[in-house]
Amino acid sequence: MTSLPHNTPESTPAIGTSVSADDFKRAFRGHPGGIAVITAYGEHGPVALTASSVSSVSADPPLLIFSVSALSSATPTIIAADTIVVHLLDAEDIGLARAGATSGLDRFADTSTWSRLATGEPVYHGVRAWLRCKIVSRMDAGGSTVIAAQALQVDVERDLEPGEPGAALVYHNRSWHRLGEHSRLD
């Protein structure tokens, strides 16, 4: 195992320089992210993608952020949408997480697994929780777009009491993991 060098004032890079993409990815491989599937409806139908970048920003107003890669075929529809649905997944939803991360797959072929809300957005049935959100801001960031969205509607299928471990689904070091009582540190 190698470690990143410790920066001292003499070794700190000048402003405007960057670490390599490989070093950046290497640093983040050890930083797990919760898993969500983002859906939107566009002129060519519904789209979905899996994201590990979803993060709450504020409870009042209820805001979240996430990023979408320019490489995803779903990104143009999500960026153009006024509203989207953010599905917050747990380990029971691993099939949906994998589907959203698989290129070229028709994520909406099985019409029994999803429907459209009265407002038009596609929503998957039976996920741990979902939030219907209005996009309030978009920012280009490298090869991605960072999106800020305000929650307008929420549905929680599998709720957790404070301190309860649940079965969180996270992505860590290029693989899926289930958090639970076995991974709890006190």
First-to-final CA distance of the chain: 27
Per residue of the chain (186 residues), give pLDDT as tens: 445 455 555 555 566 678 888 888 888 887 778 899 999 999 999 999 999 999 999 999 999 999 999 999 999 999 999 999 999 999 999 999 999 999 888 999 999 999 999 999 999 999 999 999 999 999 999 899 999 999 999 999 998 888 777 788 988 888 888 887 777 777
